[in-house]
């Protein structure tokens, strides 16, 4: 039996200025993204002419107001810079394969979920993933929502069951809730049947509580063997993302010797608070965002690339 892995270190502008026509929501949306669309394709009922997007000069006050709002939000959360906006999700998804050296016997022949630490992309984007669900900090939810930072979580039932509602709020804000087993065991030490119970059991919990059956699974501690991936596949798992960097409240750890971020890197953190860290979840996010923004990276949504 071959074990592959690495120890997990316990880780609204809604206001319209006087004298300017009220903009429809469909016009505001591209403005937020920093682009301008043409007029609506068809006039409204009753023969009225459609609202046309205003000229670039007319848009300037709105763009200025948006930028000011983003600056104010970043300042309120103690960030050194305004986070960069992620590029649109790629129309053509990259081909995800298992990282060299992370394969198990018969990996490709058996069609087992790929194990990877980086998504193939040339864009300066990284992906934040957060494991387990032990800390349930309301300030973290507010911070990520106000800053509009995407992230993906991998949950274990033994720590989320005391407050399923916290993660329901997360789901309602578009966060992907994924599988990190029922009880966070060292999977290679279990039989195939017990590994399957851990993985499929967590699939059932997430589906019953949150409505969707995940296709992403992260093995606890990053440890897995052939039985782990066979069991995961049988439970409906399609991908097994690990990580290339890990961020804590007080430091970063790196898998690569160059100790750099790379386009498409997956970054790991954990739901932790002052009981285990010298700080809070928002403190960790500040450390994370200050570094990736200073190095010219945006934070993308992992599921958009899979």
pLDDT at 62: 75
Name residue, tokens 């929501």: 25
Kindly report, residue by residue over 175-201, the tens digit of the pLDDT: 999 999 999 999 999 999 999 999 999
Domains and CATH numbers, the chain: 115-305 (3.20.20.370)
How confident is the model at residue 58, as a pLDDT? Answer: 54
C-alpha dist (Å) from residue 155 to 68, 181, 241, 244: 36, 7, 14, 19
pLDDT (0 to 100) of residue 5: 55
Identify each DSSP E strand in the chain by its residue range: 115-116, 125-132, 152-155, 176-179, 240-241, 245-247, 252-254, 266-270, 298-300
Q: Identify the band that residue 63 occupies on the pLDDT scale cut at 50, 70 and 90.
A: confident
- pLDDT value for 214: 98
Per the model's pLDDT, the better-predicted residue between 156 and 46 turns out to be: 156
Give the residue among 251, 112, 239 at the shortest CA–CA distance from 176.
239
Q: Contact, 132 vs 184, CB < 8 A?
A: yes
Give the tens place of pLDDT for each residue, 71-108. Answer: 999 999 999 999 999 999 999 999 999 999 999 999 99
The burial class, CB within 10 Å (0-12 / 13-18 / 19+), for 36 is middle
Q: If residue 29 lies in a helix (H) or strand (E), which one and from where to where?
A: helix 25-32
Q: Which of 150, 212, 226 is nearest to 178 (CA)?
A: 212
Strands (E) in 11-163, as ranges, are 115-116, 125-132, 152-155
CA angle 3, 101, 151 (to 5 degrees): 85
Four-residue CA torsion sign, 291, 276, 205, 144: negative
Contacts of 127 (CB under 8 A, 6+ apart): 119, 152, 264, 265, 266, 267, 299, 300, 301, 302, 305
* pLDDT tens, residue by residue, 107-164: 999 999 999 999 999 999 999 999 999 999 999 999 999 999 999 999 999 999 999 9
DSSP reduced 3-state for 270: strand
pLDDT tens sequence across 275-305:
999 999 999 999 999 999 999 999 999 999 9
Is a pLDDT exceeding 70 seen at residue 57? no
For tokens 């509580």, what's the residue?
209
Average pLDDT (19-34) is 37
């Amino acid at each position: 039996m071959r074990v592959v892995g690495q120890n997990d270190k316990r880780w609204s502008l809604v206001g319209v200025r006087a004298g300017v026509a009220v903009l429809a929501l469909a016009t505001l949306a591209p403005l937020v993204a920093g682009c301008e669309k043409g007029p609506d394709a068809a006039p409204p009922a009753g023969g009225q002419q459609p609202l046309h997007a205003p000229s670039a000069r007319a848009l300037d006050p709105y763009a200025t107001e948006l930028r000011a709002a983003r600056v104010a939000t970043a300042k309120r959360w103690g960030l050194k810079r305004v986070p960069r906006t992620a590029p649109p999700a790629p129309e053509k998804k990259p081909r995800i394969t298992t990282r060299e050296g992370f394969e198990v016997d018969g990996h490709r022949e058996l069609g087992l979920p790929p194990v990877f630490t980086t998504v193939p992309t040339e864009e300066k984007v990284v992906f934040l993933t957060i494991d387990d669900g032990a800390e349930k900090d309301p300030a973290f939810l507010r911070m990520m929502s106000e800053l509009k930072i995407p992230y993906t979580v991998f949950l274990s039932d033994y720590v989320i069951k005391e407050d399923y509602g916290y993660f329901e709020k997360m789901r309602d804000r578009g966060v992907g809730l994924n599988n990190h087993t029922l009880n966070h065991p060292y999977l290679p030490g279990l039989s195939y049947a017990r590994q399957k119970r851990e993985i499929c059991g967590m699939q059932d919990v997430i589906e019953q509580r949150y409505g969707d059956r995940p296709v992403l699974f992260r093995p606890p501690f990053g440890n897995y063997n052939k039985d782990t991936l066979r069991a995961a596949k049988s439970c409906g798992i399609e991908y097994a993302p690990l990580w290339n960097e890990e961020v804590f409240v007080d430091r970063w750890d790196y898998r690569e010797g160059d100790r750099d971020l790379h386009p498409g890197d997956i970054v790991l953190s954990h739901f932790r608070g002052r009981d285990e860290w010298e700080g809070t979840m928002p403190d960790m996010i500040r450390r994370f965002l200050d570094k990736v923004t200073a190095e010219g990276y945006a934070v993308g949504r992992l599921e958009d690339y899979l």
